[in-house]
Structure 1
Amino acid sequence: MRDFVTQNAFLLLALVFVVFMLARGSIRKRLSGFDEVDPGQATQLINREDAIVVDVREPQEWSQGHIPGARHIPLGQLPKRLNELEKYKDRPIITQCRSGMRSATAASTLKKAGFTKIYNLKGGITAWKGAGLPLDRK
Structure 2
Amino acid sequence: MSFIVENWIWLLAAVASGGLLLWPRLKGGADGVSPNEAVQLINREKAVVIDVCEPAEFAAAHVVGAKNIPLADIAGGKGLPGNKSLPVVVVCASGIRSAKACTQLKGMGYERAVSLMGGLSAWREANLPIEKSA
Q: Shorter-chain TM-score: what band? A: 0.7 to 0.9
The aligned runs of 1:52-67 (5 Å cut-off) are 52-67=48-63
1:36 aligns with 2:28: no
Partner AA of 1:92 in structure 2: P
CA RMSD of the aligned region, Å? 2.4
Q: Percent sequence identity over matched residues? A: 38
Question: Deviating runs (4+, > 3 A) in structure 1?
Answer: 23-28
Query: Where does structure 1 lack aligned partners over 5 or more consecutive residues?
Result: 1-16
TM superposition score normalised by structure 1? 0.75
Decide whether aligned partners of structure 1 residues 79 and 99 sit closer, same or farther in structure 2, where only a CA change above 3 A counts: same
- How many positions carry a matched residue from both structures? 119
When Rg is computed on C-alpha atoms for both structures, the one with the higher figure is 1
Q: Show the counterpart of 1:120.
A: 115
Can you list the C-alpha shifts for 1:22-73, whole angstroms capped at 9, x where unaligned?
Answer: x967644xx33x4211111100100001001110001111011111111100
Q: SS state of the match for residue 48, structure 1? A: helix
1:78 and 2:74 correspond: yes
Structure 1 pair 62–86 and aligned structure 2 pair: CA distance change class (3 A)? closer
TM-score scaled to structure 2, two decimals? Answer: 0.77
C-alpha distance in 1 between matches for 2:45 and 2:81: 17
1:81-100 Cα shifts (integer Å, max 9, x gaps): x1432513100001110000
Letter in 2 for 1:52: V
More helix as a share of residues: 1
Matched, 1:103 2:98: yes
